[in-house]
Structure 1
Amino acid sequence: MRTAAVVGTGLIGTSVALALAGKGVRVHLMDVDESAARTAAALGAGTVGPPPAPVDMALLAVPPAGVGEVLAVQQAGRLAHSYMDVASVKAGPERDACALAEPSTYIGGHPMAGRELSGPLAATATLFEGRSWVLTPTAATTTATLNRALEVVALCGAVPVVMDSAAHDRAVALVSHTPHVVAALMAARLQHLPDDAARLAGQGLRDVIRIAGGDANLWRDILDANAAAVADVLSELARDLSVAVTALRGLATDNADERAEGMMHVADLLSRGIKGRGRVPGKHGGTPRNGVPVRVLIGDQPGELARLLGTVAELGVNVEEVAIDHAPADRSGLVELLVGPASSVRLAQRLADHGWTVHQTPPVAPGTPEPALSAPETVIRGS
C-alpha cells in the first residue's frame, strides 16, 4: 500500500493516519472541520486535502449514520480504489452502503480500541497494536478490497477478525456499548458527591467510571445505531440488579431465612462475576495473565511518570498494565505496575536501587482476586 485517504480526523481517523504514515504510506487528510485536519497534519498524520489521483484505500472515520452517504459521495469523486469505514456498529452502515453506493469496493471495519479522550490531539500511532480489528465483508466485497483492508490492519499492528455485521453488533453491545452506559450510570451517581466521600475514592471507582468521560455526542450516535442490541443486554443486567437489590435487602433484615437466601444470591453473583472476568482476554489477545502489582511512589512534578517508565524499560521488565492512583489534595501519586510474578521482586528491588520508593505486594495464587490497594505491602525505600 502506497497511498491512503482518511475522511474524518478525530481520535480513530488520526490514529490510523499516524500508523499508516509511520509505515511510509502517503496519507491525505479530509474533514469537514479543516482545523481538525490541520491539527492531524501537524502531528505527522499526512497532508491536508484530497489526493490528485485515486488512493489505494480510503478510511471513512465518520459517525455510523453518515457512512453510506459519505461513501457514495467519495465514490462519485473517485477518491479511492477501496473504502473501509471504522464505525463501531456495522449492520446499519452496511445496509446504507449497499443501498446508496457501490458495495463491491466497500468493506466494514471496526478497530476495537479507543480512549476516553477524543479529537486528533488524543490520537496515537500505537492505539491499535495487538488489538482486534473486525472486518465485515459483504457478499459483494471484492477480494482486492478485502486484501487492502487486511493490509491496513497489519500496518496498524492490529489483529483481523472477520465477522458477520449483525453478529458484530450483538457482540459489541455486550463488550463495549453496554459497559459505557453502565459507567455513565455509575458516574452520574457522583454528580453531587460530598467532599468527604470524594476523598475516599480510589482506583476501583476510577476504573469503573473511566470510559464515562468519552465524547457524549459520539456515544449518542453509537447508542442510537445499536439501540436494540444494547437494550437487550441492559434488560438482562436489570434482572440481575433486581435480584441483587432483593438479596441485599434480605441481608439487612433480622430474618434468618431472608438473610440466608440473600447471602446465597450475593455469593452466586460474585462467583459469576469472577468467572465472567476470566473470559476476557489479556494483553495481546491471550488468556488473562496473573500479575503482581508493584506500586511506586512518584512526585507530582512534570516528567516523573515518563522517568519511571523509562527506568522500567531500561531494566527490561515487561509491564502488563499501568494504573495511577493520585489524590487531588496530595502532591504525589502511586503508580501501579502489573508485572509477572517472576519479575515482581526483581523489579521492586532494582527500582529501589534507582532511588524509587516501592510498595511491593506479595504474589497471589492463580485464580485468586488481585490485591486491593490496602493489601499488606513491603515498602522498599530508594536511597
Structure 2
Amino acid sequence: MRSAVVVGTGLIGTSLALALSAKGVTVHLRDADPIAAHTAASLGAGSVEPPDAVVDLAVMAVPPALVGTVLADAQAEGVARHYTDVASVKRGPQDDAVAQGCDTVRYIGGHPMAGGERSGPTAARADLFEGRAWVLTPTPDTATETLNTALELVVMCGATPVVMGAAEHDRAVGLVSHAPHLVAALFALRLARAEERAVSLAGPGVRDLTRIAGGDPALWTDILSANAGVVADILDEVAVDLDDAVAGLRALAATDDAKHAEGRRRMDLLLHEGRAGRKRVEGKHGTRPARYRTVGVLVGDQPGQLARLFADADRSGINIEDIHLEHSAAQLTGVVRLSVEQRGAATLEETLRGQGWRVQ
C-alpha cells in the first residue's frame, strides 16, 4: 500500500492516518468539518490536498449510519481501488452499501477494537491499534485482493486481524462493548444523582467501573442505535441476573436463618460466576490484558536461520507471545513476525539488530 484516503478525522480516522503515515503511506484526509481535517494534517496524519490519482485504499471513518452514503459517493468518484470502513457495527452499513448499489466486490467492512474516552483528532495517536483485534467482515463477493489490502492495513497499524460475519460481529461487540458501556452509564447515573458527600468517597473501583461512561454521548447514541436490538437482548439477560442478585441480597438481610443461608448461596454462586467471566478477559498471567507490538524480522531462506533467530531473540530476555511466518517458495527471504508486550519491543529490536538481523 502506497496511498490512501481517510474520510473522517476523528479519533479513529486520525489515529489510523497517523499509523499509515508513519509507515510511509501517502495519506489524503477528508472531513465534513474542514477544521478537523486541518487539525489532523497539522498533527502529521496526512494532507488535506486531494489525490492526483486513484489511491490504493479508501477508509470510511464515519458513523455507522453514514458509511453507505459516503462509500457510494467515494466509489462514484472512483477515488480508490479498494474500500473499507471502521464503524463499530457491521450489519447495517453492509446492508446500506448493498441498498445503495455500491460495488461490494471492492468493499470490506472493518472494526478496530480500540478507542478512548476522548474524541476528535487531538486525542489520536499512531499506536492506538497496536496489539488490538481488528475485525474484518467481507461481503459474500468481496475480492481476495480487497481482503488482502485490508489485511495489509491492519498489519501496518499493528493490530491483529479477525475475520467474522457481519451479524456475528454485531452480536459479539454488543456483549463486549456496547452493553457494558450502557451498564457503566447506568451506574454513573446513580452517581450523578447522589449526594456530594457520598461521591467524595469514590475510589479506584468506581472509577474503573464507570470509566467508559465518559465517552461522547452523541457518538454512543449513534452506536447504540445501530445495534439496539442486540444490546436490548443482552440487557434483558442482565436484568434477569439483577433480579436474582436483588433476591439474594433481600434474603441475606433476612433474620430467618434458612433465608439467610439461601441468600449466601445465591450471592456466592453469582460472585464465583462473575469472577470466572472476568478471568476470560484477563491477560494470561492473571493481569490486565497486555498491549502487544509486532516486530518483523527479515530471514534468509537458508537452513538454521529460524533457530538462530529464536536463539538471538532469547538473548533479549523478552517473552515471545506469538509467531507468524510470511514466506513463499519463490522468494529468497521471508518475514518472521514476533509478537511481544509493547514495553519489551524496543529491547528485542535492539538485541536483534545487534546480532545482525534486519528488523522492520
- On whether the aligned pair clears a TM of 0.5, the verdict is yes
Q: Deviations over 1:157-186 (max 9, x none)?
A: 000000011000000000000000001001
Determine what percentage of the aligned residue pairs are the same residue. Answer: 60
Which residues in structure 2 correspond to 1:316-327 (within 5 Å)?
none
**Correspondence for 1:345:** none
Q: Deviations over 1:233-281 (max 9, x none)?
A: 1000000000101111111121112111111111011000110011115
**Correspondence for 1:201:** 202
Query: How far off its partner does 1:317 sit?
Result: 10
Separation in 2, partners of 1:99, 1:107: 15
**Correspondence for 1:225:** 226
**Correspondence for 1:255:** 256
**Correspondence for 1:139:** 140
**Correspondence for 1:34:** 34
Which residues in structure 2 correspond to 1:142-157 (within 5 Å)?
142-157=143-158
Q: Deviations over 1:286-319 (max 9, x none)?
A: x35348xxxxxxxxxxxxxxxxxxxxxxxx999x
Which residues in structure 2 correspond to 1:286-305 (within 5 Å)?
287-290=284-287
Q: Which range moved further: 180-189 or 193-202?
A: 193-202
Separation in 2, partners of 1:203, 1:54: 50
Separation in 2, partners of 1:288, 1:99: 47
**Correspondence for 2:245:** 244
Query: How far off its partner does 1:192 sit?
Result: 3.1
Distance 1:143 1:201, change over 3 A: same
Which residue identity lines up with residue 105 of structure 2 in the other structure?
S
Q: Deviations over 1:208-234 (max 9, x none)?
A: 000101011110011011011111110
**Correspondence for 1:335:** none
Separation in 1, partners of 2:76, 2:55: 14
Separation in 2, partners of 1:134, 1:317: 28
Higher relative contact order (CA 8 A, sep 6+): 2
Aligned length: 291
- The secondary structure found in structure 1 opposite 2:83 is strand
Separation in 1, partners of 2:87, 2:232: 19
Which residue identity lines up with residue 77 of structure 2 in the other structure?
G
Which residue identity lines up with residue 185 of structure 1 in the other structure?
L
Give runs of ≥4 in structure 1 deviating > 2 Å. Answer: 192-196, 287-291
The answer to whether the Cα contact below 8 Å between 1:107 and 1:136 also exists between their aligned partners in 2 is: yes
Query: How far off its partner does 1:152 sit?
Result: 0.4
Q: Does 1:214 pair with 2:211? A: no
**Correspondence for 2:71:** 71
The answer to whether the Cα contact below 8 Å between 2:279 and 2:286 also exists between their aligned partners in 1 is: no
Q: TM-score, normalised by structure 2?
A: 0.79
Query: How far off its partner does 1:193 sit?
Result: 3.0
Separation in 1, partners of 2:197, 2:191: 12
Separation in 2, partners of 1:42, 1:216: 27
Which residue identity lines up with residue 225 of structure 1 in the other structure?
A
- The secondary structure found in structure 1 opposite 2:75 is helix
Q: Does 1:126 pair with 2:124? A: no
- The secondary structure found in structure 2 opposite 1:48 is coil
Gaps of 5+ in 2: 289-316, 320-340, 342-360
Q: TM-score, normalised by structure 1?
A: 0.74
Query: How far off its partner does 1:96 sit?
Result: 1.0
Separation in 2, partners of 1:61, 1:202: 36
**Correspondence for 1:93:** 93
Gaps of 5+ in 1: 292-315, 319-339, 341-383
Which residue identity lines up with residue 69 of structure 1 in the other structure?
T
Separation in 2, partners of 1:290, 1:187: 25
Query: How far off its partner does 1:195 sit?
Result: 2.8
